[in-house]
With several copies, the nearest count.
Chain A
Amino acid sequence: MKKIINDPSTVVTESLRGLAAAHGDILKVRTEPAVVYRADAPASGKVAIVSGGGSGHEPMHGGFVGLGMLDAACPGAVFTSPTPDQVQAAIEHVNGGAGVLLVVKNYTGDVLNFETAAEFAAAEGLDVRTVVIDDDVAVKDSLYTAGRRGVGGTALLEKIVGGAAEGGYSLDECEALARRVIGSVRSMGVALTACTVPHIGEPSFVLEDDEIEIGIGIHGEPGRRRVPHQPAEQLVQTLLEPILDDLPFSSGDRVLLFTNSMGGTPLVELYLAHGIAERLLADRGITVERRLVGPYVTSLEMQGMSLTVLKVDDEMLRWWDAPVRTAALRWGA
């Protein structure tokens, strides 16, 4: 394993130190327990948006902390949900008196740890709500599974609800908007290569030279099926079709298209794929109103990509367009 690290057990802490050094104007970091929070927290009178999850998906979530997006992020060990202490510390730190919305990706570990923290916070009389995002259509959503995973849609959700919170939405309004976004967003991913978790030291799974894994999650867990590698045109279709069929999206819909790199895919390939996705959507009569292209919800160095499609309305677009100033997303500020 060749990684730019000193010791697998200190990767997250050391990386947070670098994040803090790089973006001192935007965020601050505390350790034990680890929390990334807005430099100007708490924002008094504003609903606080808190998220988090395992590390290794950078820039999510620490890179989304700042004006117009998250008030705090709780980074767990690599690919491991954070602990309730972290979430509690985050809540305490950023609570500005207008309530706290926890944005949780649907993984058993994330849900349980955030739930525990929310119980503690509620016991202290804080108004804490939780929304769980589960946008990954690769996973069967049934009573007999852990349900869909939260993947790329999380970035869009955090931007939109973060914008609304900054714009003065109440906790009720933030929660309602978040639920609408969750109901309107779907994703699907593919891995060309596996990633290597530092404390494991070997790739999470093994793909042959001509094999790709469809329906990959963001934790190095294997996907739904292995297929031979295919041209980009076909690959983008393979990802897009289950997304469109699921919601479903149909002609006349207005969408935000998010073409996400799993981390190790060159931008030249990602834009190529994005161009194909745009064309396929246009062919179906779907209007792409906004787009995001880049490595935002990653799996360490994994090569691969995901597509996320969000059916937007004017309210969502308004908060998507609203100023944001974070390490990873920045406009209008």
Chain B
Amino acid sequence: MSCDAAGVVAALRSAAEVVEAHRDELVTLDREIGDGDHGENLKRGFTAVLSKLDNAGDTPGAVLKVVASTLISTVGGAAGPLYGTAFLRAAAKLGTEPELTASSVVDALAAALEGVVARGKAEVGDKTMVDALTPAVAAARDAAGSSVAEVLRAAADAAGKGAEDTVPLVARKGRASYLGERSAGHMDPGARSTALLLRAFADAAS
């Protein structure tokens, strides 16, 4: 994959495919400890994103900004504003830079995480997407000296692990928190989708 706008567009197309393929899995996870719409929400959002990608922009930042506003206006639920903010902050961080670099990707991921935390006020251990994104940012930072592909692979691996680690947790944010102790034993759907998206980006970058 190239690291310019076209490469980002290509990565988003595969992300949309991954969301579509995992729609039912995410619905099932969200049914267990939420309201069952997470997979459908993201699918609706990424389907809308697909229709906007053709003329999305000339820089990675411009493309991600379109993704952000499209997600915000089509996803709804908690995930809509959170993912929307994540992409918006990442886009802002990338600015008008024409090509991604390992270090700009690290910064963009960190900005995304900050945005999610600013909006959602979740901490690590609350059983949310923050539990996937936080270790992803740390791992990305550790890999900052390598390539874009390496950074994303490290982030995806860590996010996957982070998502797995949400299983035993008792949720303290989002809809799953209503369940109290009964939320333990299930993976957080948002952490899972974060891991899936990062994996899709990493695979596209390889």
Contacts and interface: CB of A to CB of B under 8 A. Distances in A.
A and B touch in the complex (CB under 8 A): yes
Contacts of B177: 139, 144-146
A205 B182 CA distance: 13
B44 interface: yes
A33 interface: yes
Contact of B175 (A9, A107, A140, A224): A107
B72 A84 contact: yes
Interface string A287-328: 000000000000000000000000000000000000000000
Given A145-B172, A200-B36, A220-B36, A80 B76 contact: yes
How many B residues are at the interface, by size bracket? Answer: 20 to 34
Contact of B173 (A76, A108, A219): A108
B76 A81 contact: yes
B41 A197 contact: no
Contacts of B95: none
A112 B120 contact: yes
Contact of B40 (A77, A85, A107, A217): A77
Given A77-B41, A77-B44, A146-B173, A83 B178 contact: no
A222 interface: yes
Contacts of B27: 199-200
Contacts of A81: 76-78, 80
A82 interface: yes
B73 interface: yes
Chain A: interface secondary structure?
A: loop
Given A145-B172, A221-B34, A109 B76 contact: yes
B132 to A, nearest CB: 17
Interface in B50-83: 72-82
B31 A80 contact: no
Interface in B16-53: 27, 31, 34-37, 40-41, 44
Contacts of B182: 222
A290 B7 CA distance: 57
Nearest to A113: B81
A204 B76 contact: no
Q: Looking at chain A, what size class is its interface with the partner chain?
A: 35 or more
Contacts of A149: 178
Contact of A84 (B77, B81, B126, B179): B81
A169 interface: no
A297 to B, nearest CB: 15
A83 B175 contact: no
Most interface-central of B37, B84, B180 (chain A CB within 10 A): B37
A78 B78 CA distance: 14
Interface in A52-101: 54, 76-85
Interface in A19-50: 33
A328 B172 CA distance: 36
Contact of B35 (A33, A82, A116, A221): A221
A281 to B, nearest CB: 27
Query: Which are the 7 A-B pairs with shortest beta-carbon distances?
Result: A112-B81, A109-B77, A109-B78, A219-B35, A108-B78, A145-B177, A85-B73
9 contacts: A108-B120, A108-B174, A139-B178, A144-B172, A145-B177, A146-B172, A197-B36, A221-B178, A221-B179
Given A116-B84, A199-B40, 14 more contacts: A54-B77, A80-B77, A82-B76, A83-B73, A84-B72, A84-B81, A107-B175, A109-B76, A109-B78, A109-B79, A115-B81, A139-B177, A220-B35, A224-B178
